[in-house]
């Protein structure tokens, strides 16, 4: 029996959707918040534990990189396929399965006796993450009654952002006071809590799409991204002209090139290539790859610099960029009205340039510098820029397509942000000139500033693309809601 849509838990008529303030609505928000936080922890918490993992498992730079990117590759590659599964089998059911996979994989990560098994467990975590990502927020949006959906997403965004702000600090504390293994257990109680509240959440999908899995497209995506990421990760250590690196580049490029005609011929493709005939849609996704990719790589670099060069503990390094999230939370709700008046192009452009300025400032951080002068101003610029850029970017990508394509356009843009993140995080050792180094201490000492300036340059390129190709959109007079930070699903990654 469904619950009343207006007065809490009183029974309602058949087919009624729950209200936000009903018991079911509260459980729904709690479950999706917990699922989003699990996804965030698995994606980015490893940043603060990289030095400890390398030392504890005697792993080289490229191996530790795969601990990071193994998860990101599988999530990015399987995201769209997982969305098709959720549409067919039901969002709640797929969310339950995804959380279960992440639970088991997290235990395997914590118990991994060597780096090879840790990498394998991280890849399995990514499979679970790919199932959780498209189903969690879709479950929230599709289960609440329509009049409560915007408010529900706002509550979800606020609570999820609080979790993502405190998460790195908690992970660093666990590394400092326990073991790097404990960070993989941090999401175990969150998953258990999500299961507990999901008991109150019904499966309310009115219609189920026929199951049409583009398995060939998914395989080519995995091979394409995996090949490119392997080459970027192994190149600095093995040599760019080595046989494994060249072979992986060839496999990756051939797979990605073959993906285009395959998708054009399929009746139900994983990616509908017709959308890429829209100039603004292409431009915004190019911006997304560069901008969000640079954000992910810069966050990783700053955490490494704080720990390995500035002498911060893992706890302090995890908290170093908290002001960025705080500024984002303050600025983002104010941007909707600005975008409604002036359009999306210039807030996006100015915001992206401010993030680039934050990267330039952070590039100057050196041993002996104080936090208030070396890190804080750059973090504030970063948060201010994100606050200005994220909401108009979200509005612009949706305004570029017809209403019937909104779901697919959002999924493609989310995948673009993840592809950018995995590629540029994989590039970090190359940017640092790590070569055959067993750790990143010396490469950071010599090339941290250069790497951050390269990321600032890529960010500026994304701002130029925005200023040239992005217009105010189809509905410039419509108010634009404040976009949540992209917490593993429907907004921009702040970490």
Shared domain check, 197 and 151:
yes
Residue 473 and residue 342 share a domain: yes
User: How much is the pLDDT for 213?
Assistant: 66
For residue 285, being part of any structural domain is answered with yes
Number of domains in the chain: 3
Question: Based on the domain organization, do 170 and 241 belong to the same domain?
Answer: no
In a domain, 208, yes or no: no
**263 and 299 inside one domain:** no
Residues 155 and 236 in one domain: no
For 167-208, the pLDDT digits (tens) are 788 889 999 999 999 999 999 999 999 999 998 888 766 555
Enclosing domain of residue 92: 1-203
| 243 and 313 housed in the same domain | no
**Which residues touch 107 (CB under 8 Å, ≥6 apart)?**
184, 185, 188
Same-domain pairing of 303 and 320 = yes
Q: Are residues 95 and 157 in the same domain?
A: yes
| Residue that is last in its domain, among 203, 227, 248 | 203
Of 153, 171, 203, which residue sits at a domain end? 203
The structure's pTM equals: 0.84
For residue 137, give the CATH number of its domain: 1.20.1250.20
Please report whether residue 65 resides in a domain: yes
pLDDT at 362: 97
pLDDT at 436: 65
Query: Sign of dihedral through CA atoms 378, 380, 383, 385?
Result: negative
Which residues does residue 492 pair with via DSSP β-bridges, in sequence order? 485
Is 249 strand, coil or helix?
Answer: helix
Q: Which pLDDT score is estimated for 349?
A: 94
* Domain boundary, last residue among 269, 288, 309: 269
For every residue of 278-304, DSSP letters joined together read: SHHHHHHHHHHHHHHHHHHHHHHHHHH
Is residue 85 domain-shared with residue 234, that is, in the same domain?
Answer: no
Going by C-alpha positions, the residue among 135, 142, 139, 134 that lies closest to residue 76 is 134
Task: Enter the tokens of residue 472.
Answer: 């105010």
167 and 220 fall within a common domain: no
**For every one of its 495 residues, what pLDDT tens digit does the chain have, with 9 covering 90 and above?**
344 434 444 344 445 788 788 888 888 889 988 998 898 888 888 889 889 998 899 888 888 888 988 898 888 888 877 877 877 788 888 899 999 999 999 999 999 999 999 999 999 999 999 888 777 777 887 788 888 776 777 677 777 777 777 778 888 999 999 999 999 999 999 999 999 999 888 876 655 555 666 777 778 888 888 888 888 887 777 778 888 888 998 998 998 888 878 877 777 676 777 788 888 889 999 999 999 999 999 999 999 999 999 999 999 998 998 899 889 888 877 887 777 788 888 999 999 999 999 999 999 999 989 999 999 999 999 999 998 998 888 778 877 877 666 666 777 888 888 889 989 998 998 899 877 667 788 889 989 999 999 999 999 999 999 999 887 644 433 333 444 434 333 344 444
| Per-residue pLDDT, 185 | 92
* Cβ-Cβ contacts under 8 Å for 234 (sequence gap 6 or more): 62, 242, 244, 245, 248
Shared domain for 386 and 454, answered yes or no, is yes
Does 210 map to a domain? Answer: no
Same domain, 288 and 428: yes
Question: What is the rounded distance in angstroms from the CA atom of residue 199 to the CA atom of residue 197?
Answer: 5
In a domain, 230, yes or no: yes
Q: What average pLDDT is seen over the chain?
A: 83
Domain assignment present for 209: no
Residue listed under structure tokens 């760019």 = 240
């Amino acid at each position: 029996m469904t619950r009343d849509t207006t007065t809490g838990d009183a029974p309602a008529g058949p087919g009624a959707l729950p209200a936000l303030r009903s018991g079911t609505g509260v459980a729904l928000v709690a479950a999706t918040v917990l699922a989003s936080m699990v996804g965030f922890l698995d994606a980015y918490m490893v940043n603060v534990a990289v030095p400890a993992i390398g030392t504890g498992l005697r792993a080289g730079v490229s191996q530790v990189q795969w601990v990071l990117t193994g998860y990101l590759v599988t999530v990015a590659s399987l995201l769209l396929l997982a969305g098709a599964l959720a549409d067919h089998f039901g969002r709640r059911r797929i969310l339950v399965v995804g959380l279960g996979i992440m639970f088991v994989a997290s235990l395997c990560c914590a118990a991994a006796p060597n780096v090879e098994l840790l990498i394998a467990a991280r890849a399995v975590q990514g499979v679970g993450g790919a199932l959780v990502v498209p189903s969690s927020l879709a479950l929230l949006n599709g289960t609440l009654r329509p009049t409560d959906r915007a408010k529900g997403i706002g509550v979800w965004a606020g609570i999820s952002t609080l979790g993502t702000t405190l998460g790195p600090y908690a992970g660093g504390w666990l590394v400092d006071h326990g073991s790097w293994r404990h960070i993989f257990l941090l999401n175990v109680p969150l998953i258990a809590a999500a299961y507990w509240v999901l008991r109150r959440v019904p499966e309310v999908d009115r219609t189920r799409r026929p199951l049409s899995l583009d398995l060939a497209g998914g395989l080519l995506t995995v091979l394409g991204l995996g090949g490119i990421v392997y080459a970027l990760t192994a190149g600095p250590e093995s040599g760019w002209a080595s046989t494994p690196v060249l072979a992986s580049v060839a496999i990756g490029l051939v797979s990605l090139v073959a993906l285009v005609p395959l998708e054009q011929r399929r009746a139900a493709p994983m990616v509908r290539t017709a959308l890429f005939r829209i100039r603004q849609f292409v431009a915004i996704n190019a911006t997304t790859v560069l901008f969000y990719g640079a954000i992910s790589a810069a966050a990783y670099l700053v955490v490494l610099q704080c720990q390995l060069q500035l002498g911060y503990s893992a706890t302090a390094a995890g908290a170093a960029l908290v002001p960025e999230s705080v500024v984002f939370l303050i600025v983002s709700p104010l941007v909707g009205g600005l975008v409604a008046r002036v359009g999306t192009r210039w807030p996006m452009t100015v915001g992206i340039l401010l993030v680039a300025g934050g990267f330039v400032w952070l590039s100057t951080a050196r041993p002996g510098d104080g936090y208030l002068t070396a890190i804080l101003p750059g973090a504030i610029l970063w948060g201010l820029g994100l606050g200005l850029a994220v909401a108009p970017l979200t509005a612009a990508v949706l305004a570029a397509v017809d209403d019937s394509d909104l779901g697919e356009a959002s999924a493609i843009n989310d995948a673009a942000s993840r592809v950018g993140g995995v590629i540029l995080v994989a590039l970090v050792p190359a940017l640092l000139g790590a070569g055959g180094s067993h750790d990143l201490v010396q490469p950071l000492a010599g090339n941290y500033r250069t790497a951050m300036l390269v990321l600032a340059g890529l960010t500026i390129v994304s701002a130029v693309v925005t200023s040239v190709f992005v217009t105010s959109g189809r509905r410039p007079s419509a108010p634009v809601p404040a976009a949540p930070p992209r917490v593993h699903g429907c907004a921009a990654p702040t970490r």
